[in-house]
Structure 1
Amino acid sequence: MRHSLGLIVTFGALLLAAPSHAQTFDPRYPVCMHVYSGANGGGGEWYDCSFLSAPQCRATASGRAATCDLNPYYPVNVPASRPRYRRNG
């Protein structure tokens, strides 16, 4: 019983000590560049959300293993629909 309790406590401590990741997408910018470094760089892949437009992102991504995507966390200000009033007459 002691052995299994120690194993559970150790496993729980390992789960809590695992590194956590920060938010991937910066909500201040509408366009993100998804960079793939894969086997060549060994660094995996990441998002760079620092672009104000798709052409700006594409110019930076040119010649790299990267794509440009819209930021799903960018707040889009959609105007509210106007209420419709019925006319009598």
Structure 2
Amino acid sequence: MRFSFGLIMTAGALLTAAPSHAQTFDPRYPVCMHVYSGANGGGGEWYDCSFTSLPQCRATAFGRSAICDLNPYYPLNAAPPRFRHRQTG
């Protein structure tokens, strides 16, 4: 009896858990724009990580309630890809 009650409670807790959000930062671009639509806008807030420079992001954010930041997931010190040469012969 106790086991079935505990099982039902555990299943209920798992089914009512809040959904998790995916990562909002795209690691391919160094700059992200954080857009705020506020309570009256009804859209919440989101990140647009599709910018290659801060001036490009600022030009897009001009006139909007948005701010441009560096992407925390962009690999700044990543080594450049190494090319392998095939040996023929």
TM-score interval, normalised by the smaller of the two chains: 0.7 to 0.9
Q: Give the 5 Å matches for 1:1-89.
A: 1=2, 4-5=5-6, 6-15=8-17, 18-77=18-77
> How many pairs does the alignment contain?
77
Counterpart amino acid of residue 20 in structure 1 = S
Deviations 1:38-61 (A, max 9, x none): 112211111100000000000000
Larger radius of gyration: 1
Give the unaligned 5+ runs of structure 1: 80-89
Runs of 4+ that moved beyond 2 A: 1-9
| C-alpha distance in structure 2 between counterparts of 1:11 and 1:77, whole Å | 42
TM-score, scaled to structure 2: 0.74
5+ residue gaps, structure 2, are 80-89
Over aligned residues, Cα RMSD in angstroms?
A: 2.0
Give the alignment's TM-score, normalised by structure 1: 0.74
Identity among equivalent positions (%) equals 70
